[in-house]
Amino acid sequence: MIFTLISGEHPTLPKAEVKAILEAENFCFKFSDSPPRILRIDVSIEAGKIIGERAAYTQLACLELAYTKISSVEDVLKNIKDINFEDYLSSGESFAVRFRCIDKDLKSSFKMVESRIGDIILKRVSGAKVNLEKPDKTFLGIFSGGNLLFGLVLSSPVKGFGLRFPRRKPFFHPSALQPKIARCIVNLSRVKVDNINGHIYDPFCGTGTILIEAGLIGVKKIFGSDIDIRMVKGARLNLKHYGVDGDIFIADALNPPVLSVKHVATNPPYGRASKTFGKPSSFLIENFLLKALNFLKKDGILCLISSSKIGSSSIAEKLGFKVLEKHFIYVHKSLTREINVLKPL
């Protein structure tokens, strides 16, 4: 069993994203009962590492060593003492113990628990040493919903979304997505990474945010297009800046020069800062989806962001798509984004 600490930014996207990653990489898995901000999953350790490295809305992943109801520090220590730390930490390795409280009211009660557990580990594993800066292994405890989850951290990378905010890119446009949302829709498209056949297409690529996030998680073949030559040049500049190799070309998304694609993630123009070249956003989306039925593989996935006012899911169903998932992100009073995960019928 592994557990992940998920972001509290959105009610449905974190779990949906984890599920999509596991399906993309063909892992067998089962979600189990979970307290707030936690996903407990019966799945392999390798899957846990991939989730932590790849997911936008997952902060870290751990191998579960203990899961129990607790009411006091003594409850915590009693459960920790039952763990065979020597199975997870070797003599000579360094470690750190960290705790996080989702239950705010418990925070002050457990201030000293990290050092007390550290003492238990030092007595149990001969030759182990504490290193709070760069430990070889990190043990993490989380208090959530009156429960203790304790485990060995499998992956907790710095994903650097702040370095890729729209205004920090060499080429900026106000319609650009935030990188975290872009990473999420790449994952929702179920594209497989580190695979020679893994590919993703963005027919409304804009500044290239979606393609950058796809490249950074390891998608091998990345290509995008835009009708605006300025956007194409800017997207190429941005991809180069972040060391992502992709093919970006000038093309009308309503007449795309592609024959067969399995994974599409895109954000067509719909906001006040977007150019639609005189066409209503609903017209663009409807006619793009109609074209997509010709180039999207029968087992393919199309992840589409639009304004909720457009009703993209209804348009898609009318044209011959199955809506696998639908999520909403409130931006401001005049814009709520709608994310649809679509599959051809």
User: Could you read off the pLDDT of 22-81 as tens digits, one per residue?
Assistant: 999 999 999 999 999 999 999 999 999 999 999 999 999 999 999 999 888 888 898 899
Residues 6+ apart with CB under 8 A from 309: 336
Place of tokens 């091998």: 220
Say what the pLDDT of residue 28 is: 97
**Shared domain check, 260 and 281:** yes
Please write the tens of the pLDDT for every residue from 245-292. Answer: 999 999 999 999 999 999 999 999 875 555 566 678 889 999 999 999
Query: Phi and psi for 66 in degrees, rounded to 5?
Result: -155, 140
**Shared domain check, 196 and 176:** yes
Which one, of 208, 271, 278, lies nearest residue 243 by Cα? 208
Q: What is the CATH number of the domain that holds 15?
A: 3.30.2130.30
Last residue of a domain, one of 155, 181, 210: 155
Helix, strand, coil proportions of the chain in percent (round to 5)?
35, 30, 35
**Shared domain check, 166 and 119:** no
Please write the tens of the pLDDT for every residue from 118-169. Answer: 999 999 999 999 999 999 999 999 999 889 999 999 986 778 999 999 999 9
**Shared domain check, 181 and 53:** no
**Shared domain check, 181 and 96:** no
Place of tokens 């639908």: 326
How does the average pLDDT of the chain come out, rounded?
93
**Shared domain check, 296 and 184:** yes
> What range defines the domain where residue 252 resides?
161-344
**Shared domain check, 297 and 148:** no
- pTM of the shown model: 0.94
Residues 222 and 245: their CA atoms lie apart, in Å, by 7
Last residue of a domain, one of 120, 155, 190: 155
Residues 148 and 17: their CA atoms lie apart, in Å, by 24
Last residue of a domain, one of 138, 155, 172: 155
Angle at 75 between CA 70 and CA 76, to 5 degrees: 85
Longest alpha-carbon distance in the chain: 72
**Shared domain check, 213 and 123:** no
Say what the pLDDT of residue 70 is: 86
Q: What is the CATH number of the domain that holds 266?
A: 3.40.50.150
Residues 286 and 307: their CA atoms lie apart, in Å, by 13
Of all residues in the chain, what percent carry a pLDDT higher than 70? 95
- Inform me whether the pLDDT recorded for 108 exceeds 70: no
Token readout for 123 is 């007595």
Q: Select the more confidently predicted residue: 271 or 230.
A: 230
Q: Place 105 in a pLDDT band, splitting at 50, 70 and 90.
A: low
Say what the pLDDT of residue 107 is: 62
Residues 128 and 135: their CA atoms lie apart, in Å, by 11
**Shared domain check, 188 and 218:** yes
Please write the tens of the pLDDT for every residue from 311-338. Answer: 999 999 999 999 999 999 999 898 999 9
**Shared domain check, 324 and 185:** yes
Say what the pLDDT of residue 112 is: 79
**Shared domain check, 116 and 151:** yes
* Structural domain total, the chain: 2
Residues 6+ apart with CB under 8 A from 339: 13, 185, 188, 303, 304, 305, 325, 326, 327, 328, 329
**Shared domain check, 71 and 34:** yes
Q: What is the DSSP letter of 9?
A: S
Beta strands 221-226; 247-250: pairing state: parallel
